């Protein structure tokens, strides 16, 4: 026995065994908590992926070859996404603003109680929840359909491609086989009635069936945009879920659904812009979280009193109640900030993985001009949309990568930084739970999550020798007209190519430059903080102008009207293709109009109801958001 007072190995082992036995009933809860935190981070990060600046825009022919345009419609390039970029000044203001809001909520709760605060915030979060829950449900439905109806699958050692236009699945190679079922693998060999097969083809086409909707209510509403059947169904389900949660009951799983949805959406609309800014944001919130939990009662008091979807709830094992009373139920809590804030950095790491993947695929050639001067021309690989291919990846498992189509192969790009950041996040979460279990006190999760995530990301860059590329990488707005030209090429000088910086947007060489230019603002900050309004595709511009012209013409006949509504199909037809004459197609369109449906021809199809409005219907213009622009 050691009487020196110093801990021995046997003593430490006995203590560990004791705490393990005490914590054993909580292990399922902790697993539930960790998986629930990872779910919105992983899904939101993948949903935020878009074409990096190191890749060229895909051509129309490439889209058809990839199977992304198998229905022949002119769709908007869905690879482009818009995000709100955070600056270094935002990083400084975030902890200050969070502290002020937290202190204000604490004062209001102490003075007026939690009920009026919950009532006001309940309406606010209901509005946010309708959008975010609808979005996550819509994306979940698209994911399920992509798994049930993949574009590519393997069967009997052959690669099959589903052609939605011809309503056939065809094999590659000289000896082509074909079958009419849209189901993948051995499921497609099941004999089904013709009506069932037609119904399956209709289900497969639902995500791509788009309708242009224009609505106007004088002085109240102006809306113009494309919607799908899934959008409408998800919106109604979201309304029902939020209505039940707001007016009837608030079960923990419905609160968590709203928390998942808010986190999932936030990871798609916000970006730290650079790894330096992201590290600064997490570092500032690291100290804020310690202050709010350990040195003040603010965080714990606000979290326990606000019954809002700003946290995830996890049922704890029932505790024995007083004598003769039923067991008491309790819940563990995890704030959404502990998910979203590290998740922003994890999502940035995944987009950086995609950037590096296409950067390594670039080819450089040296050209000599007429004046004898040489320049390096970088040829970028065309971008293959990496989202929406989970089904094809699942159904082509076991096939050699050399036989996979480009879209499926690109979706499996290496993700070293993303994996490392997830490992760091899980280690930080485990450390939080262990310390909380041992000391039986609420813990600031960012105290453990921030070091775990930042250490894993920057150490991975150090080991791979890519610290310079990571430091130079940015998602801020910069001119990219040159890199998106018809040839998908961009000229660079030798020095710019070596350090991976773009010609119009250079990164700061050191932390001192970053401090001077980004935080203090000694440089022309207006250029770095400029915003570019997201542009619409030519097809949508024409559709919006067409709808506005229709309603304007109709409104001119009825200047006293105050309501206008228009809907027409702009996506592919879900009907079985036929060899029909022009007159038969015209008769079919008339029949559709007779039964109240929309014509299959997007150029001539109109279903306009005008009960209103003498002014022009303009397309809805929301607030402009920063478009990600990554350095090559």
CA-closest candidate to residue 446, choices 258, 293, 264, 261: 293
Backbone φ and ψ for 609, nearest 5 degrees, come out as: -120, 120
Outline where 166-251 has alpha helix (H): 194-205, 229-247
23's enclosing H/E stretch is: helix 9-23
Please tell me which residue in 70, 289, 547, 592 is annotated as part of the active site.
Answer: 289
Contact assessment for residue 604 and residue 243, using Cβ atoms and an 8 Å cutoff: no
Instruction: Give CA–CA dist 199/316, Å, rounded.
Output: 45
Cα separation, 583 vs 390, whole angstroms: 42
Are the beta carbons of 105 and 306 closer than 8 angstroms? yes
466-493: b or e for each residue (b if 16 or more CB lie within 10 Å)?
Answer: beebbbbbbbbbbebeebeeeebebebe
Q: What is the DSSP letter of 54?
A: T
Please, what's the largest Cα pairwise distance for the chain? 102
CA distance 55 to 382: 6
Residue 243 contacts residue 319 (beta carbons within 8 Å): no
Catalytic residue among 69, 70, 139, 338: 338
Of the candidates 465, 457, 466, 461, the residue with the CA atom closest to the CA atom of residue 427: 457
- Is-catalytic flag, 338? yes
Residue 458's nearest CA partner among 423, 420, 410, 406 is: 420
Q: Which helix (H) or strand (E) holds 292?
A: helix 275-294
* SS3 per-residue string spanning 330-343: CEEEEECHHHHHHH
- Exposure on the CB side of residue 622, measured as CA atoms within 13 A: 9
Distance CA(449)–CA(342), nearest Å, equals 7
Residue 579, H or E segment: none
| One-character DSSP codes across 441-462 | S---THHHHHHHHHHHHHHHHH
H/E stretch holding 222 reads strand 221-228
Residue 289 annotated in active site: yes
Buried b (16+ CB within 10 A) or exposed e, 531-560: eeeeeeeeebeebbebbbebbbebbeeeee
Instruction: Give one DSSP letter per residue of 397-427, joined into a string.
Output: TTS-GGGS-HHHHHHT---HHHHHHHHHHHH
Running DSSP on this structure, what letter comes out for residue 189? G
Helix residue ranges per DSSP H, 67-209: 88-112, 114-148, 194-205
Please answer whether residues 147 and 113 qualify as being in contact, where contact means their C-beta atoms are separated by less than 8 angstroms: no
- Residues forming the active site: 289, 338
């Amino acid at each position: 026995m050691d009487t020196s007072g110093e801990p021995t190995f046997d003593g430490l082992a006995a203590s560990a065994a004791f705490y393990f036995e005490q914590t054993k009933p909580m292990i399922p809860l902790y697993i539930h908590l960790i998986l629930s935190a990872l779910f919105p981070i992983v899904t939101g990060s993948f949903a935020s992926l878009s074409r990096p600046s190191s890749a060229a825009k895909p051509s129309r022919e490439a889209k058809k070859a990839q199977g992304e345009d198998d229905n022949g419609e002119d769709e908007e390039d869905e690879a482009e996404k818009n995000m709100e970029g955070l600056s270094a000044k935002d990083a400084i203001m975030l902890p200050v603003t969070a502290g002020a809001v937290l202190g204000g909520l604490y004062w209001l709760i102490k003075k007026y109680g939690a009920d009026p605060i919950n009532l006001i915030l309940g309406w606010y979060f209901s509005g946010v929840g309708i959008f975010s829950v609808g979005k996550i449900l819509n994306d979940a439905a698209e994911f399920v359909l992509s798994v049930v109806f993949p574009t590519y699958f393997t069967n009997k050692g052959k690669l099959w491609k589903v052609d939605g236009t011809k309503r056939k699945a065809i094999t590659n190679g000289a000896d082509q086989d074909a079958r009419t079922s849209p189901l993948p693998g051995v499921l497609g060999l099941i004999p089904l009635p013709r009506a069932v097969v037609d119904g399956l083809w209709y289900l497969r086409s639902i995500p791509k069936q788009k309708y242009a909707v224009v609505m106007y209510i004088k002085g109240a509403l102006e809306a113009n945009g494309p919607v799908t059947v899934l959008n409408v169904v998800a919106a109604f389900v979201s309304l029902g879920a939020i209505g039940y949660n707001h007016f009837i009951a608030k079960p923990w799983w419905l609160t968590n659904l709203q928390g998942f949805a808010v986190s999932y959406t936030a990871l798609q609309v916000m970006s730290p812009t650079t790894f330096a800014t992201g590290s600064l944001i997490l570092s500032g919130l690291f100290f804020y979280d310690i202050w709010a939990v350990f040195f003040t009662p603010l965080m714990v008091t606000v979290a326990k009193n606000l019954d809002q979807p700003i946290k995830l709830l996890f049922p704890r094992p029932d505790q024995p109640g007083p004598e003769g009373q039923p067991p008491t139920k309790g819940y563990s809590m995890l704030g959404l900030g502990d998910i979203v804030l590290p998740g922003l950095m994890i999502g940035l790491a995944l987009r950086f993985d995609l950037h590096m993947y296409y950067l390594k695929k670039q080819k450089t050639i040296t050209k000599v001009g007429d004046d004898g001067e040489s320049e390096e021309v970088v040829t970028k690989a065309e971008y293959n949309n990496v989202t929406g291919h989970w089904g094809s990846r699942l159904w082509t498992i076991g096939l050699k990568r050399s036989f996979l189509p480009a879209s499926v192969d690109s979706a499996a790009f290496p993700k070293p930084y993303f994996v490392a950041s997830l490992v760091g996040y899980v280690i930080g979460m485990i450390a939080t739970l262990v310390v909380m279990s041992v000391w039986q006190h609420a813990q600031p999760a960012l105290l453990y999550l921030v070091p775990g995530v930042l250490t894993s990301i920057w150490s991975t860059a150090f080991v791979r020798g890519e610290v310079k590329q990571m430091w130079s990488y940015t998602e801020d707005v910069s001119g990219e007209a040159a890199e998106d030209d018809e040839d998908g090429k961009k000229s660079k000088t030798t020095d710019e190519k070596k350090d991976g910086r773009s010609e119009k947007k250079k990164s700061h060489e050191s932390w001192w430059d970053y401090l001077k230019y980004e935080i203090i603002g000694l440089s022309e900050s207006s250029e770095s903080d400029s915003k570019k309004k997201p542009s619409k595709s030519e097809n949508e511009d024409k559709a919006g102008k067409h709808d506005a012209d229709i309603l304007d013409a109709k409104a001119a006949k009825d200047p006293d009207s105050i309501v206008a509504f228009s809907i027409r199909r702009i996506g592919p037809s879900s009907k079985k293709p036929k060899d029909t004459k022009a007159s038969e197609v015209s008769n079919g369109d008339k029949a559709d109009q007779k039964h109240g449906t929309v014509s299959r021809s997007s150029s001539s199809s109109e279903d306009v109801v005008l009960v209103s409005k003498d002014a022009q219907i303009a397309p809805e213009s929301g607030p402009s958001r920063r478009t990600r622009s990554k350095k090559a």
